[in-house]
Amino acid sequence: MKAAIPKQFLLLEGRPVLMHTVERFSTFDPLISIIVVLPAEHHALWRQLCAEHSFGVSHTVVAGGEERFHSVKAGLGQVAAEMKWSARKQAVPGDGSTAGREAVPGEGSAAGPDAVRGDGPTGAGVNEIRCAYETLIAIHDGVRPLVSNDTIWRCFADAEEFGNAVPFIEPADSVRVLDGDDSRPVHRNTVRLIQTPQVFRGSVIINAYDREFDASFTDDATVAEADGIKIHLTHGNRENLKITTPEDLAVAATLAPLLRQ
């Protein structure tokens, strides 16, 4: 992006991109609490921006890791901790519950919804937002501020039915695959462009991340697949672009008003 500040803090309609993304989820369901995962060195700047823009969406900030994988893992650890704490608080001796028992994500514990955002390596500008909705956890790029309510709803609904949901759009252009110095065409009907939020049952994705980092992990779906999980694809929305270039930011500025209509 060649900007002086991380791209998630660049202004879209006068406010940082990340604020728009967080609000997409808080608008979808005001009960979703949000955990923002950022490099430790960006925490002070984020607090400053929140104060300057009177950003009132409640959230927790967690330190990210060296790679996107490590940041996701840090966010999931926070979600798991909050789910266990919520279950412990609700366990009352004598009411038939098991007081002091640590709830296991996915067991139907009465944990409140949580959301998480993660960052990749410092300077890489990879940002995610993750939401745990009851026993579901969604992982979303913080620089995708134009995800639609319909896409969020489909991802949660499909994950409830199939165990996970990964949104996609179909490519509009012709597609070729590089093969050394050559290339070959691939029918675009066989290709899908993957987006976020990627939603999983809590126990599934937390267990999947209980492994060492591998460079082949490009998103949360690939981590889940490494744990033997079959991925279910669902429709995303074409406006849900990932802001990585100045041109992307300009396009997002044009599309943002349309998404509110």
Whether the CB-CB separation of 244 and 6 falls below 8 Å is answered with no
Burial class of residue 177, CB neighbours in 10 A (0-12, 13-18, 19+)? exposed
Distances from the Cα of 206 to the Cα of 52, 104, 240, angstroms = 35, 10, 26
Q: What is the pLDDT of residue 59?
A: 86
- pTM for the whole structure: 0.81
Place of tokens 């009352």: 92
pLDDT of residue 87: 65
Domain definitions of the chain by residue range = 7-259
Owner of token pair 């005001």: 30
| Inter-CA distances, 72 with 115, 140, 186, 198, Å | 11, 10, 32, 12
| pLDDT > 70 fraction of the chain, expressed in percent and rounded | 79
Instruction: List, for residues 36-95, the tens digit of each pLDDT value.
Output: 889 999 999 999 999 999 999 988 889 998 999 999 999 999 988 877 766 666 665 554
Q: Work out whether the CA dihedral 137, 140, 145, 148 comes out positive or negative.
A: negative
Give pLDDT, residue 119.
39
> What is residue 33's predicted lDDT score, i.e. its pLDDT?
73
Residue 234 has what pLDDT? Answer: 98
pLDDT, tens digit (0-9, with 9 covering 90-100), for 210-233: 999 999 999 999 999 999 999 999
Q: Contact 215/179 with Cβ under 8 angstroms?
A: no
Report, in angstroms and rounded to the nearest whole number, the Rg of the chain calculated over CA atoms: 19
Question: Which pLDDT does position 166 carry in this prediction?
Answer: 98
CB-CB neighbours of 190 under 10 Å: 7
Does residue 102 surpass a pLDDT of 90? no
Residues 6+ apart with CB under 8 A from 84: 102, 103, 109, 111
- Domain 7-259, CATH homologous superfamily name and number: Spore Coat Polysaccharide Biosynthesis Protein SpsA; Chain A (3.90.550.10)
> 94: helix, coil or strand?
coil
Q: Please report, for residues 15, 65, 67, 105, the alpha-carbon distance to residue 110 in angstroms, rounded to integers and kept in the order given.
A: 35, 29, 32, 10
